[in-house]
Amino acid sequence: MGKYLKIEWLAIVMILVMLGVSYLIKVKNEKANNSISNKEFEVFDSVTVEINATAVKSKLYTDYTVQKSGNIQMINLTYSGKTAEELKSKFGRSIGDKFYLDVNVSLLQDNGYYYEADHAIYDKKSDFFYATSPFVAYIHDGNIIHGTNLKYNIKERIATAENVDAVFYTKD
């Protein structure tokens, strides 16, 4: 019987210690901080396909896409549409029908024309490509064009630029 009394006393002491510790901790009733994020959506490794009733109009591949306040920002994007076979950029943002592209921008067309720039704007609706930084264009047969302020009508295949420095190879 003496043995059971020691266990009861031990249990009582443990309960008293737990009550004492619990009274030392102050419990506060606070509202949780609401994290306000302006992200409307966020997507990793995505493919976006634009179609109409008869065909695929365009495809957009991105490693990361986030929409904030109506502004879509993308990382490592590749776009292909009706006249732009492959438009690539490290960073880009889309507002309406325009892509604002930065870092390693390149445009490859179905006719083999290839353009490189650090900054550019591509307007899907009007099919215009604007290089807003110095650009290099690689045309058939090794022809190379350097310049600034490129305004290229992709559909009509008419380009204007400033400070043009070109090397053309002609067939004899």
82, 88, 93, 96 alpha-carbon torsion, rounded to 10°: -10
Per-residue confidence band for 149, with pLDDT thresholds at 50, 70 and 90: very high
Tell me how crowded residue 111 is: count the other CB atoms within 10 A of its CB: 11
Tell me if the pTM is above 0.85: no
pLDDT for 31 equals: 64
Report the C-alpha gap between 115 and 68 in whole angstroms. Answer: 30
| Higher per-residue confidence, 162 vs 50 | 162
CA angle 62, 67, 68 (to 5 degrees): 145
pLDDT in tens, 56-99: 888 889 999 988 877 889 999 999 987 788 999 999 998 888 89
Residue type, 1: M
Mapping DSSP onto H, E and C, the string for 114-131 reads EEEEEEEEEECCCCEEEE
Which structure tokens are listed for 17?
A: 């210690």
pLDDT for 69 equals: 76
Q: In the predicted model, what is the mean pLDDT of the chain?
A: 84
3-state DSSP assignment of residue 14: helix
Q: Which CATH architecture has domain 39-167?
A: Sandwich (2.60)
Q: Which of 58, 131, 128, 67 is closest to 93 using CA atoms? A: 67
Per-residue confidence band for 34, with pLDDT thresholds at 50, 70 and 90: low
Region 104-122 average pLDDT: 90
Q: Which of 93, 98, 89 is closest to 129 using CA atoms? A: 98
